[in-house]
């Protein structure tokens, strides 16, 4: 019985950002958990198709679709077609984000708009489009990707942190609006994860090591370590979980420093 509540058997799961990193890992994980179909969505259709092909190679059912979450009308049309083709949309995960690391005084208006368009407007577009479908069918689970930066930040992270906090508040608000329609909305807040987005940090050994040491686990996460928290939120095991965030951060937000007192 305990195993069954974590299963995604019979569910149609859409993963936005499935072409690489965390999204790719989640798409593969959803297939492993028995999803009836995994729809791999990404701005890079070839990358999404490669993920879908990996799922198909292991006997799963998957397809690949191009999506630009910054395009509200296109996002709605894409998810509408998906739901119509598959008969439902049971779960949706949205992982994409971008970051421009700069001090506030050095930020340009164009850079601000670019980050907000993807991270905040993009997630709003996805949330609204999926919400319209799921409230009509009176079931579904949406998982947005926030970050530890919704809670703690550092120099150079102003706009990114603002958008990640905004994503969390969007999830909470949608959860309160759609709960009686059978739709759950939650967020995952990763710590530092080795993905294409964080590649510039990995290439700077001092910076990479500093982030590893900040975590009580003394290491970075791998994309696959975000799969469990995400699939839990999609599954029936989380049937009474909505409007919250799971910080999968290796203890980052639990610790306020790196120094261990003597004798500890």
Beta bridge partners of 248: 190
Cα–Cα distances in angstroms (integers) from residue 57 to residues 50, 64, 120, 227, in the given order:
10, 14, 35, 20
Contact between 99 and 25 under an 8 Å Cβ cutoff? The reply is no
Q: What is the C-alpha separation between 8 and 16, in angstroms, rounded?
A: 17
Catalytic positions, please?
160
Q: Please enumerate in sequence order all residues whose Cβ is within 8 A of that of 134, keeping only pairs 6 or more positions apart, or say none.
A: 89, 140, 142, 178, 181, 182, 183
Strand-by-strand arrangement of the 37-42 sheet:
62-66, 37-42, 12-16, 91-94, 140-145, 183-190, 245-248
Give the whole-angstrom CA distance, residue 36 versus residue 63: 12
- Cβ proximity of 100 and 114 under 8 Å: yes
Q: How many CA atoms lie within 13 A of 258 on its CB side?
A: 8
212 Cα distance to chain centroid: 22
Distance, in Å, from the CA atom of 218 to the CA atom of 201, rounded to the nearest integer, reads: 16
């Amino acid at each position: 019985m305990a195993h069954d509540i974590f299963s995604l058997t019979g569910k149609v799961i859409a993963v936005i950002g499935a072409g690489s990193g965390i999204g790719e890992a989640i798409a593969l994980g959803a297939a492993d958990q028995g999803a009836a179909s995994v729809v791999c969505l990404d701005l890079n259709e070839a990358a999404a198709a490669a993920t879908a092909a990996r799922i198909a190679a292991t006997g799963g059912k998957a397809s690949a679709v191009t999506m630009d979450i910054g395009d509200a009308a296109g996002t709605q049309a894409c998810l509408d077609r998906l739901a119509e083709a598959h008969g439902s949309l049971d779960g949706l995960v949205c992982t994409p984000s971008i970051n421009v690391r700069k001090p506030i005084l050095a930020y340009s208006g164009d850079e601000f708009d670019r980050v907000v368009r993807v991270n905040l407007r993009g997630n709003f577009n996805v949330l609204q489009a999926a919400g319209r479908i799921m409230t009509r069918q009176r079931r579904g689970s949406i998982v947005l990707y926030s970050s530890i930066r919704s809670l703690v930040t550092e120099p150079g992270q102003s706009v990114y942190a603002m958008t990640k906090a905004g994503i969390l508040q969007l999830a909470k608000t949608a959860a309160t609006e759609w709960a009686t329609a059978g739709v759950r909305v939650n967020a995952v807040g990763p710590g530092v994860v080795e993905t294409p987005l964080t590649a510039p940090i990995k290439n700077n050994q001092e910076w990479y090591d500093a982030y590893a040491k900040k975590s009580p686990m003394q290491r970075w996460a791998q994309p696959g370590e975000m799969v469990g928290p995400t699939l839990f939120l999609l599954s029936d095991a989380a049937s009474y979980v909505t409007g919250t965030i799971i910080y999968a951060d290796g203890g980052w937000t639990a610790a306020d420093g790196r120094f261990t007192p003597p004798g500890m």
